Amino acid sequence: MKKLIVFDLDGTLLNTIADLAASTNQALQACGFPTHPTEAYNYFVGNGINKLFERALPEEARTHENVMRVRERFIPYYNMHNADLSAPYPGIVELLTSLQAAGVKLAVASNKYQVATEKLIAHYFPAIRFVMVLGQREGVPAKPDAGIVDDCMKAAGVSAAETLYVGDSDVDMQTALNAGVDAVGVTWGFRPVAELQAYNPRFIARRAGDILDFLKE
């Protein structure tokens, strides 16, 4: 069994899309830009909030200034409302509990900004001990840069061969490749399974319990 499992957050541990959509839409509207249906955000998220805002803005309005305007409106609202509609995916709490009981070290590596990442993990998984919870931080490259996974491995004192990375998007699969660790792609998140399969992950999980079965092989 692997000694460390690093999880993506949005679309992997938590279904956060409704809160992300509502918070971005209120920021867009406040800045005079059109809004989008919730399902559109499945393809806007994944590369950090600045890229989210860039994708959500009209093509002709995708300037740094406008991204910063939307960000200024988004962050205080999302900090207050990021747990209104979000929830763990079915079986996730049980999966984390079982892994922790088996002595597997757990970590989170997200492109969500650090404050929100820490808040959501503390809120939804209070009984789980993570060796590291990392989000996007100023001056630190976002995924698919391997640095965030490297930091988790260093904190856990394990090698790449002893690490598994679990995520729901092409960004996650690229992150695992860049870090030299095995990847599990999960189908319950924001992106289609074909996007995951294009990167030949070690395993595709269609429900949380599949990850436990894979680790027993």
pLDDT recorded at residue 11:
97
CA-based R_g, the chain, Å: 17
pLDDT recorded at residue 30:
97
Indicate the domain borders of the chain.
4-15+87-216, 17-81
Q: Spell out the CATH class of 17-81.
A: mainly alpha
Residue located via tokens 């929830």: 87
pLDDT recorded at residue 93:
98
SS3 assignment, position 133: strand
Angle between helices 147-156 and 170-179 (to 10 degrees): 60
pLDDT along the chain (217 residues), means of 10: 95 97 98 97 93 97 98 96 97 98 97 96 98 95 97 98 97 97 97 94 97 90
| Cross-strand pairs, 113 | 136
From the list 8, 16, 138, the residue with the least C-alpha distance to 78 is 16
Give me the active site residues, please.
8
From the list 92, 141, 148, the residue with the least C-alpha distance to 121 is 92
| pTM listed for this prediction | 0.94
pLDDT recorded at residue 1:
78
Q: Spell out the CATH class of 4-15+87-216.
A: alpha beta
